[in-house]
Amino acid sequence: MRPLTETETQTLFSKLANYMGPFIKNLIAPPDSNPSTDQTRMSFRLGNQNRVYYCSEYLANLSTCVARENLLSVGTCLGKFTKTGKFRLHITSLNVIAPHARYKLWVKQNGVMPFLYGGNIVKAHVGRWSEDCPEHQGVVVLGMDDMPLGFGVVARSTAEARRLEPTGIVCFRQADVGEYLREEDTLFTTT
């Protein structure tokens, strides 16, 4: 595990800022933490197969004692860098992104299963959404009971989506919790 380079950090933060906005600063130093301790200070580390992990500084320092080929994971896997240098978020990052999300979209009960099976969200399935959400903005998708279901990118701004017909696509799916079952063989593998 090694710290991210400057370009990797910029790529990661630009992707996370698309979903979290100004709340991204809460990832590095949580608001309730004491800055003098490494136990609560968080960091990003690059592991096997270009996967980025989010963990405490203390845990990252302890992981240096383990050989790289023997270390499977440290902390929470946020995603991975592609061969072209872009960053792709994994569903495992949902617990990190959801509490700090700037824009949210709530799905009605009848739209939960189509979303969890890998479909996009249509207007008829939207219960409510954050106001003033611009087009192509990252959103966290929640059930009506505020349970995080995944994340996506809105196809239209909030004002345009209100005028859409019920079958019009409002949000393109990026990841959903159904991936834990659909991709269980490849989600956590190291080969």
Q: Which structural domains are found in the chain, ordered by start?
A: 2-97 (3.10.450.220), 103-181 (2.30.130.10)
Higher pLDDT, 124 or 69: 124
Among 32-46, 49-63, 87-101, 174-188, which is the least confidently predicted range?
32-46
Q: Residue 153 has what pLDDT? A: 93
Q: What is the pTM of this model?
A: 0.82
Contact call for residues 57 and 33 (beta carbons, < 8 A)? no
Confidence bin at 188 (pLDDT 50/70/90): low
Q: What is the mean pLDDT of the chain?
A: 86
Higher pLDDT, 5 or 34: 5
Q: Residue 47 has what pLDDT? A: 84
Q: Residue 189 has what pLDDT? A: 63
For 159-182, how does the pLDDT look when each residue is reduced to its tens digit (9 = 90+)?
888 888 999 999 999 989 887 777
Residue 120 predicted with pLDDT over 90:
yes
For 65-99, how does the pLDDT look when each residue is reduced to its tens digit (9 = 90+)?
888 778 888 889 999 999 999 999 999 899 999 99
Share of residues in the chain with pLDDT > 90 (%): 44
Query: Mean pLDDT across the stretch 101-106?
Result: 92
Higher pLDDT, 182 or 46: 46
Residue 37 predicted with pLDDT over 60:
no
What is the arrangement of strands in the sheet containing 42-46, beginning at the earlier edge strand? 2-3, 42-46, 51-56, 76-81, 87-89
Query: Mean pLDDT across the stretch 98-122?
Result: 92
